[in-house]
Amino acid sequence: MSGYLDLPPEGEDFNYRDYLGRQDIYVYFARADLEVLESNQGNFLLKIIFLIKAQALEILYQLWPDPEASLLAGILLGVESGISEGVQKAFRETGTTHIIAISGFNITIVAGFFSRFFSRMLNPRRGALAALLGICLYTLLVGADAAVVRAAVMGGLSIFAQQIGGRQHGLNAAALASLVMILINPQLPWDISFQLSLSATLGLILYADPLAGWFLALSSRFLPLERAQKITQPVSEYILFTFAAQLTTLPVMLYHFHGFSLNTFLTNPAILPVQPPIMIVGGLALILGLIWFPLGRLVAPLVYPFVLYTIRVVEWFSRLPINTSHVGEIATGWIFLFYGILGLITFGSPLLFQLRGFLTPSLLAIGLVLGVVLVWRGVYSTPDGHMHLYIFDVGTGSAVYLESPSGQRILINGGPSTRLLSDHLGRRLPPFRRNLDLVVVASPVKQDLDALAGNLPRFEPRGILWLGDPALCWEAENLRAVLEENQTPLIFGESGQTLILSDGMRIKILSVNDRGGTLLIDFQNFRGLFPFGITEFNRKEWHMGRDLGEIPVYYLADNGYQSSNPSAWINNIHPKLVLLSVGIKDGHGLPDRGLIDRLGEYSLLRTDQHGVIHLNTDGEKLWIDVERLD
């Protein structure tokens, strides 16, 4: 490895320099050149695990659409890289990141789910052993790094404490395990993951059973004992146990992150009941898919409504005006004071707990509702006789998605972000019919096609129409290699060709050069011009647009670069609606301020301000909708 050494950064939210310093690491390579000296020298078992994990991730994206697939990748495999920023932000603002992050909090809750699930199927002792085995397998599958192993140990302790009975035994076991881990790694007490793991485990050991007993006593005042016991079980698992873990992790969250989500107490009870079927049925579908893909595809639809429900509920709660309470930096003394008072209350008078629980719908009712959601999702995905055109919000780049009146699905370019494109397509394609009929590479430059290589294997296009130089950049060559590997049919387009779709919809290729092509989309009275590869020669050839006539919808070339959109050109085509795809605070200063000022008399929609732009037309009328995902 060779490169320039530098000091690690000191961020406001996370001090990477201090983090590495506690491990006696004081410099790092921001960028480095690597030379492989030898291969196949690593741990054979880990190699097998990582190979299985990589194959499982590939199968997972074939079984489910995005954003549901990326959430499942985080839950089942610990791979969060595919989750779009908008979805991650919603989980952060609702305090539900433990659902997708393999943390101490997550595995502790998972341990409780496993224990109760297997205890109902088997007897309590065998159920506990099965739960421990499940946690071990889960830990191996997600990579078994140090933080995950520590979390798994703490999760196992919560099960052990429940079996041996009594809080004191559980506390002793937690103390012993923590001591052993600290002796192995003296820097562990400063690790946030360890602190969350330990505090969440203590919360379940100390408060899980007392809270359940309190709620049973309360509910039995108003209901027959047998019915009160039936109600206590789901309320405890999905509300009270979560509250117990949140109570003891709250000081850690406040100290490190200077705030907490106020609506976490609303969001968690709403989504936790569906997490066991997500993990169990989703894991089963993934395992079956690894064994024989058709079996996994058969089971996959059963878990899809629960994942869809989780994302939609979290996104809905994140929009409420009660998201996060910021408290600023908190002195260590206040943290010790909090735990001290909590300890006095806990061991001095457990009867001081006075909480209010509320019931959640039964899993059967949720299943029925989600089944209806799934059916209607399919209904809304069926063709409605209109042409739908989406400008995806992918930053500075371009990704245009078309649905013809008869339901043919066409993607033009893909933008720079694999996960953003996957998220957008997953939200609009039918969940289990995700094939694209055609992908048009209309601009073979990095910011317009970089996302395609990672997404095309997931959405399996029937063909590719390529406009421009296939070797214009490394990303274009890489995409060609992916297409060849997947044996995807590839056709090179030429100027003057017309793609005729059903119901009179046409895509005309007006010009082609090395940088791409200019497209004219026609559907009855709708005309939209998309100049992805336009040049000054093309504009002069068309007499600055006079030969094209009026174009009702115009897509600004080169993300709002002024020289690519001259005044005479825009005035001659005289659009009624101008579309712009550009990133928020673009690094190159796009769109040009002068161009935006000149467009003052036109209706302008921008992805950086409005998000996804949706045009819906029956050929006579045009309906416009915009949607921000973050």
CA-to-CA distance for 549 and 568, rounded, in angstroms? Answer: 13
| Among the ranges given (196-205, 416-425, 522-531), the one the predictor scored with the smallest mean pLDDT | 196-205
Domain boundaries, the chain: 2-41, 46-368, 389-627
What pLDDT, on the 0 to 100 scale, is given for residue 522?
A: 94
Cis status of the peptide bond prior to 67, with omega within 30 of 0: yes
Question: Tens of pLDDT along 346-398?
Answer: 766 544 444 333 333 434 444 444 454 454 455 455 677 899 999 999 999 99
CA-to-CA distance for 263 and 260, rounded, in angstroms? Answer: 9
Question: Tens of pLDDT along 486-510?
Answer: 889 999 999 999 998 877 899 999 9
CA-to-CA distance for 455 and 153, rounded, in angstroms? Answer: 37
Sheet holding 622-627, edge to edge: 490-492, 464-466, 438-441, 409-412, 400-403, 387-391, 612-617, 622-627
Which of 62, 152, 39, 158 lies closest to 106, judged by CA? 152
> Mind spelling out the 3-state secondary structure of 171-228?
HHHHHHHHHHHHHHCCCHHHCHHHHHHHHHHHHHHHHHHHHHHHHHHHHCCCCCHHHH
CA atoms within 13 A on the CB side of 372: 5
| 193-205: average pLDDT | 77
What are phi and psi for residue 192, nearest 5 degrees?
Answer: -65, -40
List the end-to-end C-alpha distance of the chain, in Å, as a whole number: 39
| Among the ranges given (128-142, 150-164, 263-277), the one the predictor scored with the smallest mean pLDDT | 150-164
* For residue 556, pLDDT beyond 90: yes
Higher local confidence (pLDDT), 362 or 101: 101
Element (H, E) at 138: helix 124-141
What pLDDT, on the 0 to 100 scale, is given for residue 392?
A: 96
* For residue 512, pLDDT beyond 90: yes
* For residue 243, pLDDT beyond 90: no
Question: Tens of pLDDT along 29-57?
Answer: 877 888 888 877 777 777 887 888 889 99
Q: Roughly what angle, to the nearest 10 degrees, separates helices 293-318 and 44-63?
A: 70
| 300-305: average pLDDT | 92
Question: Tens of pLDDT along 147-167?
Answer: 677 667 766 766 666 665 555
State the DSSP string of 534-597.
--HHHHHHTGGGTTT---SEEEPGGGT-GGGS-HHHHHHH--SEEEE---TT-TT-PSPHHHHH
Higher local confidence (pLDDT), 442 or 191: 442
Higher local confidence (pLDDT), 249 or 184: 249
* For residue 604, pLDDT beyond 70: yes
3-state secondary structure of 349: coil
* For residue 1, pLDDT beyond 90: no
CA-to-CA distance for 270 and 238, rounded, in angstroms? Answer: 8
Start-end of H helices in 220-257: 225-235, 241-257
CA-to-CA distance for 63 and 65, rounded, in angstroms? Answer: 7
CA-to-CA distance for 426 and 67, rounded, in angstroms? Answer: 6
Bridge-based pairing of strands 324-326 and 259-261 is: antiparallel
Q: Answer for the pair 399, 415: CB distance below 8 angstroms, yes or no.
A: yes
| 260-264: average pLDDT | 72
> Mind spelling out the 3-state secondary structure of 324-345?
EEECCCCCHHHHHHHHHHHHHH
Bridge-based pairing of strands 409-412 and 438-441 is: parallel
CA-to-CA distance for 211 and 357, rounded, in angstroms? Answer: 10
* For residue 626, pLDDT beyond 60: yes
| Bridge partner residues of 612 (DSSP) | 627
Q: What is the mean pLDDT of the chain?
A: 81
CA-to-CA distance for 548 and 585, rounded, in angstroms? Answer: 33
* Greatest mean pLDDT range, 36-40, 133-137, 365-369, 594-598: 594-598
* Greatest mean pLDDT range, 15-19, 268-272, 591-595: 591-595
For 271, residues 6+ apart whose C-beta sits below 8 A from its C-beta are 96, 99, 309, 310, 313, 314
Question: What CATH number should be reported for the domain whose range is 389-627?
Answer: 3.60.15.10
Q: 145 pLDDT band (50/70/90 cuts)?
A: low
What pLDDT, on the 0 to 100 scale, is given for residue 326?
A: 54
CA-to-CA distance for 540 and 545, rounded, in angstroms? Answer: 8
